[in-house]
Amino acid sequence: MFIYVFVVFLLVVQTVNGDQPDVEMFSESFNQDTEMVLACRARGFNTSGIELHIKKNRCDLLTKEDGVKTSGIYQQGNTYWREDYIIISKSEMSNYSCEVIHAESRFHVEKVWDPDSDGPGRIISSRPRVFLSVDNEVQAKITLTCLAEGFYPRNITLNIKRNGNILTREDGVDSSGVCPREDNTFQRRDHIIISKSDRSDYSCEVIHAASDSHEEKVWDHHLPPDTDDKDGDSWLKSAIIAAVIVVLVLVLVPVLFLVLVLYLRSDLGDRRGRYSDVPQDVEAPDSESNL
């Protein structure tokens, strides 16, 4: 019976984009419609470190002793997937959810099974992915950006800090607010424009209580390639140009001088050659001897 169910699930697995990990929580009728197979499927991950939990009432973690079966980790194309399932009675009124954690990509999503829907389940919570970056601005300015994306529900706290102090709109912080994404999660992007020479300690703090996430990333003062030490780059370029000129002078001048010498010698030889048939010892006639 279990082998049959397992084969059925294998047949419905589809390939997804590795850049878009996906979690589904769904059910199918089983055993003359008195029971159902409740499945949790995670797919589209770039590495095999997929942790998957089927939970009851969001608290009780179900194991193989409770009847949970697993496909294990499988590779399909360039991505990895895993599917766990459990057979329950159709009269079961408990709330079941599926939690998937992929530590390498900081992916953490929990979906709940919706018995009144044929969809892939409802997201209960999704941990935000946090990014801190800098971009070029005019003159000696850069934009420091803090991005939190992929979280659910929408309530989130995002702080840009300078030397441990939270910056506000009065300090120049601008925010996109919380915006929806196509995968039914949310994102928020805050940024501030600062001087490239500012040596203060900047960090990005994100708190998402629903997914029990609290992360803070610190800027390492690394600048984009075309703004990284522009003055130093200009000095280096000037030094390189000067060195090239010196090399050209030291090499070309002797070469040109040598060419000139060879040319002059060749020209002198040609002129001598033109008069080579004229006797060199002929004396001018003595006018008095002819008298």
How far apart (Å, rounded) are the C-alpha atoms in residues 228 and 224? 6
129-218 CATH: 2.60.40.10
Terminal C-alpha separation, the chain: 149
Residues 200/192, Cβ–Cβ less than 8 Å: no
- Look up residue 123 and give its two tokens: 């997201």
Identify the band that residue 233 occupies on the pLDDT scale cut at 50, 70 and 90.
low
Cβ atoms within 10 A of the Cβ of 278, count?
A: 7
pLDDT band (50, 70, 90) for residue 168: very high
Cα–Cα distance between 101 and 50 in angstroms, integer? 6
Between residues 84 and 1, which one has the greater pLDDT?
Answer: 84
Separation of alpha carbons 143 and 189, rounded Å: 12
Residue 149 neighbours by CB under 8 Å, 6+ apart: 128, 129, 131, 181, 185, 186, 187, 188
Q: Say what percent of the chain tops pLDDT 70.
A: 78
- 26 vs 39: CA distance, rounded Å: 6
Q: What is the pLDDT of residue 91?
A: 85
Count the residues in the chain: 291
Q: Does residue 118 register a pLDDT over 80? A: no
Domain boundaries, the chain: 2-125, 129-218, 229-267
Fold matches, 2-125 and 129-218:
yes
Burial of 144 (0-12, 13-18, 19+ CB in 10 A): buried
Where is mean pLDDT largest: 63-77, 111-125, 254-268, 270-284?
A: 63-77
| Angle CA 46–22–107, to nearest 5 | 65
Q: How far apart are alpha carbons 157 and 210 in whole angstroms?
A: 11
CA distance 260 to 236: 36
Of the candidates 274, 276, 256, 275, the one whose C-alpha atom is nearest the C-alpha of residue 264 is: 256
For 2-125, give the CATH class. mainly beta
So what's the pLDDT on residue 3? 40
Residue 224 or residue 177, greater confidence: 177
Q: Within a 10 A sphere around the Cβ of 13, how many other Cβ atoms?
A: 14
Are 172 and 192 contacting, i.e. CB atoms less than 8 angstroms apart? yes
Q: How far is CA 141 from CA 110, 195, 198, in A?
A: 41, 5, 9
Q: What is the mean pLDDT of the chain?
A: 81
Average pLDDT over residues 36-51: 93
User: What pLDDT score was predicted for residue 268?
Assistant: 54
What is the C-alpha to C-alpha distance for residues 173 and 263, in angstroms, rounded to an integer?
Answer: 73
Of the candidates 175, 160, 271, the residue with the CA atom closest to the CA atom of residue 206 = 160
Per-residue pLDDT for 289 more than 50? no
Residue 270 pLDDT exceeds 50: yes
pTM above 0.75, yes or no: no
Q: Which has more confidence, 158 or 31?
A: 158
